[in-house]
Structure 1
């Protein structure tokens, strides 16, 4: 995605992907901010998966193995940052809140790629982008979904993923006692099955909304008893309602 020799210390490259695009795992020496201007972006890195909306981006440290995929007719902007020039930028995997100012700066810089002079307005805009990304109030802890490696648990969840089953019921499908299942699940993910499942459903909900589903359709698809139940869980985990996210997504 980025060249081994960066053409500029910081630049924005635009990627347009069809619905269902899944990239290859790769790494590079540049830190990267993945921002979805249109559609929904998904990033897998460090054994975790993050799904982000047009209000957020994922910050990926240099040399981190990662894969980017997309839902909807996605338009992604990748901000590539040379860590030798900006050593304080993107030291760990994190989510970044995209403010209106940051949105406009990234979009404008994306029109120029690395075709700009070092004393130009674009150069100063990109320096401001790096500064804003590095601010504490912009960067948030990752609310990522740990990827399950235990094949029995993974198959059981896949088989019953939207049936609103308890950990006790899932453990039976995985051929574990409930106590074994809870212990193994916590060891592998660092969270309870209930906590993990809530993030799992929210991420799938974001993808469904990114494909153009209504809030009601997404709630029904995910097995929620009502749209209001889906809205409550969604807002608790991402900070805004599904309806607001749909307004921000451009199909």
Structure 2
């Protein structure tokens, strides 16, 4: 069976699981699949016998893969290599536009998850591929598929994910911070809550996430900000929800991390 389900811990919030469409083999080296997802709908953890490009023409997706959470907006996609367990949920109503890509040594794509920028050309190629019936025009479909794979290699790759620990105690801690990113309690206070010394807690956290708590919280706040900006919340409200003392402090963090202000980020991602 080419799609296998796996058990795994759920993401934050009341998710409604929707079935993964059964597919035993790819009929073509590149195949597009479209589906509308309502806010809060999620595919259960599963893996494929092929690579996947997770993409939505509108809406915000959260993808969990290999102990990391990714927030994907319509200007980005996530490359998920063959065999990697993952699950995708819609943080807002989304037009899910998915690519399945067969393994090929000539692909030139990484064997790990990678966030890809999606150029306007690649976006339109994905949409077009999903609208073409291969049997109606085999040559055209083959050319489209070749263009898609060429464009995938040309997209800028970057790492912007949130590592998620495996230790149950650390998971509860991270989930609490994810749900309430404005929680200002430091390591000493959390150590008392979790029943460990601050030094032990810090050492275990860095070993499992590869980040200090400070760096992890900044990444968390950035991803929650991206999620909320895409949903239309104002930067001032987001700054308050994230626990910043002022909107200017939030704007500074966002500009350092992305190179632009929150409003510039939103305008750059509006259609047209």
TM over 0.5: yes
DSSP-derived class of the 1:38 partner: coil
Cα distance in 1 between the residues matched to 2:83 and 2:170: 30
- Report whether the alignment pairs 1:105 with 2:143: no
- Report whether the alignment pairs 1:148 with 2:168: no
Equivalent of residue 212 in structure 2, options 186, 192, 197: 192
Cα distance in 2 between the residues matched to 1:174 and 1:116: 61
Greater RCO (CA < 8 Å, at least 6 residues apart): 1
Contact preservation (8 Å) 1:39, 1:249:
no
Shift of 1:146: 1.1
Over 3 Å counting, the alpha-carbon distance change for 1:210 and 1:45 in structure 2 is: same
Q: What residue is the counterpart of 1:127 in the other structure?
A: 146
Q: What residue is the counterpart of 2:36 in the other structure?
A: 16
DSSP-derived class of the 1:27 partner: strand
Over 3 Å counting, the alpha-carbon distance change for 1:225 and 1:114 in structure 2 is: farther
Per-residue CA deviations over 1:93-145 (Å, capped at 9, x if unaligned) read 1111111221222222222365653311x43222111112123xx24242211
Moved more, 192-201 or 105-114: 105-114
Over 3 Å counting, the alpha-carbon distance change for 1:65 and 1:19 in structure 2 is: same
Contact preservation (8 Å) 1:89, 1:130:
no
Moved more, 227-236 or 44-53: 227-236
Contact preservation (8 Å) 2:182, 2:240:
no
Moved more, 241-250 or 94-103: 241-250
Shift of 1:166: 2.7
Specify every segment of 5 or more residues in structure 2 that has no aligned partner in the other structure, as ranges: 1-20
DSSP-derived class of the 1:79 partner: strand
Contact preservation (8 Å) 2:181, 2:241:
no
Q: What residue is the counterpart of 2:17 in the other structure?
A: none
**Equivalent pairs, count:** 247
Over 3 Å counting, the alpha-carbon distance change for 1:35 and 1:174 in structure 2 is: same
Over 3 Å counting, the alpha-carbon distance change for 1:171 and 1:113 in structure 2 is: farther
Q: What residue is the counterpart of 1:218 in the other structure?
A: 238
DSSP-derived class of the 2:205 partner: helix
Specify every segment of 5 or more residues in structure 1 that has no aligned partner in the other structure, as ranges: none
